[in-house]
Amino acid sequence: MFTRQRLPFTRRWVVKIGSALLTGDGAGLERAVLETWVEQMAARRLAGHDLVLVSSGAVAQGMARMGWTRRPTALHALQAAAAIGQMGLIRAYEDCFAARGLHTAQVLLTRDDLANRQRYLNARSTLRTLLELGVVPVVNENDTVATDELRFGDNDTLAALVANLIEADLLILLTDQDGLFEADPRQQPDAHLIGETRVDDNRLDAIAGGSGSGLGSGGMLTKVRAARLAARSGCPTIIAPGRRPESLLGIGRGETLGTLLTPVQGPQAARKQWLAGHLQVSGRLELDDGAVRALREQGKSLLAVGVRGVFGQFQRGEVVSCVDSRGQEVARGLINYDVQDSLRIKGRPSSEFEQILGYLDDEELIHRDNLVLL
């Protein structure tokens, strides 16, 4: 069970900052406010922790640059505003992080990128590499090519999907509220803040999205749904007060801030259950006895040298079944190479991959973190 006492020890965070916390009533970025967030995130990064930032604010910044006083309603105008504002948003983050000795990287994603397995794995590899290099990725939706109209709360969902993507230890959704309350505190001043509950708490939908709450439909309801998405990979979520000074530093110290929504299962349990319950597999690998023992008795990753046969049609990142010499299924996992490349490297050591394929993506055919024994 995830508790606040574990917060100081969590290594990998995804932090989402909304437009309301970065812009003055849609009048463009407030640089001083952005500086305070960067100061806190930089402190965590420089302490050796991984951090990915998902930031809103591009449309508001674009409107300010163009002198627009009203938010556009046409999709193409919204996309243009996002494109214009994205330049200023990223430049502001780059300057602020650079002043603290940190590099940043812009990562623009669409929902298709995270739905397509190949692009999903490519995005994951890129983000993980950036984190290994000590860089702070700044992620946003690629609004200029999005087919759906920009909606408030999209970045909550995006942040949750990024948390799944990099297997984050904690998702923080910063908001202009103190957290999730049992009732609207603006109407009921004595309403209690929900300090901690599980994401499957039946009360959450009614509390966050009930009519008249003032906190739903694009506000708290979107955040609750994002927390449930993040929980699929075992990641807890904090809906945190963005108006409180040094909120991120307080969370890092384990202080009771905002609302902590905990997953039902831990990271490995959630991931393994998803793999074990995946009813449709795209291919099959026949393993030799040594590979079966390495998986079952030593908890090893699956190496190509232990594979005797490759069957089916699959792409990189799809679920394949691993069977022994008698055809008995022993494991399932997400494969790192497509069927053509798997056929070429089966039975061969990892040291020969680059010579055979012309590239080396992963040394393992299936990494143990992406494999479940059956």
Same domain for 65 and 9, yes or no, is yes
Answer yes or no: do 207 and 243 share one domain.
Answer: yes
Looking at residue 50, what is its pLDDT? 96
Tell me whether residue 96 is in a domain: yes
Q: Which of 209, 243, 266 is the last residue before a domain boundary?
A: 266
In the sheet with 329-334, reading across from the earlier edge strand, the strands are: 307-312, 283-287, 319-323, 329-334, 371-373
Give the pLDDT confidence of 203-215 residue by residue, as tens digits: 888 787 643 333 3
What's 367's domain CATH number?
Answer: 2.30.130.10
Is 172 a domain residue? yes
**pTM of model > 0.85:** no
Please check the confidence at residue 10 and state whether its pLDDT lies above 90: no
Give the CA distances from residue 282 to residues 199, 279, 297, 334, in Å, rounded to whole numbers and listed in that order: 32, 10, 26, 10
Quote the CA–CA distance of 72 and 322 in Å, as a whole number: 53
Are 333 and 208 found together in one domain?
Answer: no
Range of the domain at 360: 277-373
The answer to the question of residue 116 being in a domain is yes
For 12-28, the pLDDT digits (tens) are 999 999 888 888 655 67
Interval 34-43 mean pLDDT: 96
| Selection from 283, 268, 277, 234 nearest residue 367 by Cα | 268
User: Two tokens at 114?
Assistant: 């995270």
Q: What is the pLDDT of residue 29?
A: 86
Instruction: Tell me: do 255 and 325 sit in the same domain.
Output: no
Residue 272 covered by a domain: no
- Assigned token pair, 93: 């983050």
Same domain, 178 and 219: yes
CATH of the domain at 247: 3.40.1160.10
Both 41 and 143 in a single domain? yes
**What angle in degrees, to the nearest 10, is found between the helix axes of 154-166 and 220-231?**
10
Residues in Cβ contact with 275 at an 8 Å cutoff, skipping those fewer than 6 apart: 319, 332, 333, 334, 370, 371, 372
The pLDDT value given to residue 214? 33
Domain match, 262 and 283 both: no
Number of domains into which the chain is organized: 2
59 & 157 share domain: yes
The whole-number pLDDT of residue 216 equals 31
| Average pLDDT of every residue of the chain | 86
Is 271 inside any structural domain? no
Same-domain pairing of 302 and 245: no
Same domain, 309 and 367: yes
Domain end: 266, 292, 325, which one? 266
**Tokens representing residue 373 in the block:** 């024994």
Q: For 162-202, write each residue's pLDDT tens digit.
A: 998 898 999 999 988 889 988 877 778 888 899 999 998 88
Kindly state whether residue 191 falls inside one of the protein's structural domains: yes
- What pLDDT, in 10s, does the model give residues 271-282? 676 666 655 788
Q: Does 130 share its domain with 239?
A: yes
Q: Are residues 247 and 346 in the same domain?
A: no
pLDDT (tens digit, 9 = 90+) per residue, 316-361?
988 899 999 999 999 999 999 999 999 999 999 999 999 999 998 8
- In the three-class reduction of DSSP (H, G, I as helix; E, B as strand; rest coil), residue 150 is classed as coil
CA 257 to mean position of chain CA atoms: 21
